[in-house]
Amino acid sequence: MHLGKTVFAQLMDFVPAHEFRRCVHRYQGNRKVSRFSCWDQFLAMAFAQLTYRESLRDIETCLRALGRRLYRLGIRARVSRSTLADANEHRDFRIYADLAQGLIRIARPLYAGEDFGVELDQTVYALDATIIELCLSLCPWARYRPYHAGVKVHTLLDLEGNIPAFISVKPAKIHEIHVLDELLPEPGSIYIMDRGYLDFARLHRLHQALAFFVIRARKNFHFHRLAARPVDKLTGLRSDQTIRLKSFYPAHGYPDPLRRIRYHDTESDRTLVFLTNNFLLPTLTIAQLYKCRWQVELFFKWIKQHLRIKKFYGLSPNAVKTQIWIAIAVYVLLAIVRKRLGLELSLYPLSQILSVTLLEKMPILQAFSQLNPSTELGHSCNQLALFNL
């Protein structure tokens, strides 16, 4: 209900208060806090994300300019640079990591059954990682190359709705293959990965958990061919073989047969080789599934372009992770709001409209009533369809 609330306050009503309190209590976030609570910190950082604030001074200036209207946003304490910086520095980032995971659990059922281009009964995930660059001189703790610093965001994206099912933020120097040790495989689900995740022992653990995988093969691996199936070469397929690994360590890590598929992509004029433990799906479907892995690349592109994770408000590991997790929480919150309100807008125009209407006292649906979904802003005929969120 509206009841004279600002659009920002109505938006924050979609954050489950009981879930947030549990996260704060779990890590004692409000211990010895007299005024600026974890909720105030989250609201200030969410406001910065939604209005594209670039620095702590920027946040402080904008929020102080509101005067008494700050109370209408739900922020009960006076916001200053030092207070917000201390909160980001010292309050456990896992509060907001757990909050983001709680929002993900709410969002995923809302997008269940969304079409992603391949009709399957199983849940399909795309696994990948991206590096968020940091300044080496200011963040020496994040060094991963002689002249580069950054953190790596590992994401398991549910292709039904492009909602992340699992996210892990780690130092960039840690190889992405180790994230396979953290996953809890879902039996019957399909995991699509690039060849950076090719570790046969870890893939065999997925196989033993009754999960399926589709992954690109490296050029120099050796195998025995056990059988071959006919393929329609007019579709781009070149071969569909049942193989067994030949080299000692790969064969020891994955002793069971594998399916090897060669496919020629006419768009890029490249021949790709896929490995999978699924022997039931049609050959062309396997190739189409791997092509859907591009959705996770588009997810990374979207969050880097439209969330505040290029310039950071703090320099410590805790402050950087706090900002990243709150940005992810805001992204998932927008996806929840879109479904709950029945909006046909994609996330980009939705976030743009919110950025200029947050302080308005109107029903939140009214903010989107003037925009015709058929003429959304910011889309050109050659623009990739990023999200239909």
CA 306 – CA 303 distance, rounded (Å): 5
Residue 261: inside a domain: yes
Query: Is there a domain that residue 238 lies in?
Result: yes
In a domain, 112, yes or no: no
187 φ/ψ sector (left φ>0, alpha ψ -120 to 50, else beta): beta
Identify residue 239 by its one-letter amino acid code.
Answer: S
> pLDDT confidence of 119, banded at 50, 70, 90?
confident
Same domain, 24 and 59: yes
Domain end marker among 292, 319, 346:
292
Flag whether pLDDT at 385 surpasses 60: no
pLDDT beyond 50 at 14: yes
**Spatial CA neighbour of 255 closest among 265, 246, 268:** 246
Cβ neighbours around 120 below 10 Å, total: 13
Q: Are residues 212 and 284 in the same domain?
A: yes
- What are 130-156's pLDDT values in tens digits? 999 999 999 999 999 999 999 999 999
Averaged pLDDT score across all residues of the chain: 88
Based on the fold, state whether residues 244 and 330 are members of the same structural domain: no
The CATH code of the domain that includes 239 is 3.30.1370
How does residue 387 score in pLDDT terms, banded at 50, 70 and 90? very low
pLDDT tens, residue by residue, 224-254: 999 999 999 888 899 999 999 999 999 999 9
Query: What pLDDT, in 10s, does the model give residues 276-295?
Result: 999 999 999 999 999 988 89
> Are residues 287 and 338 both part of a single domain?
no
Confidence at 206, pLDDT banded by 50, 70, 90: very high
173 within 8 A of 196, measured Cβ to Cβ: no
Q: What is the mean pLDDT of residues 166-175?
A: 92
Query: Which of 259, 292, 325 is the C-terminal boundary of a domain?
Result: 292
Q: Which residues contact 352 (CB under 8 A, 6 or more apart)?
A: 377, 378
pLDDT given for residue 376 in this prediction:
42
Residue 158, in any domain of the structure: no
Confidence of residue 266 (pLDDT cuts 50, 70, 90): confident
CA distances from 34 to 29, 45, 85, 192, 236 (A): 12, 19, 16, 48, 65
Q: Is residue 168 part of a domain?
A: no
Residues 288, 202 within the same domain: yes
Q: Is the pLDDT of residue 373 over 80?
A: no
Q: Is residue 260 part of a domain?
A: yes
Does residue 360 register a pLDDT over 80? yes
DSSP 8-state secondary structure symbol assigned to residue 180: G
H/E stretch holding 298 reads: helix 294-306
Interval 330-336 mean pLDDT? 94
62-77 mean pLDDT = 83
Is residue 160 a part of any domain in this protein? Answer: no
> Which range marks the domain in which residue 46 is found?
7-96+311-375
The total domain count for the chain is: 2
Does 300 reside within a domain?
no
Residue at which a domain ends, from 292, 324, 344: 292
CA–CA–CA angle 313, 53, 43 (5° rounding): 80
- Average confidence (pLDDT) over 331-339: 93
Do 79 and 13 belong together in one domain?
yes
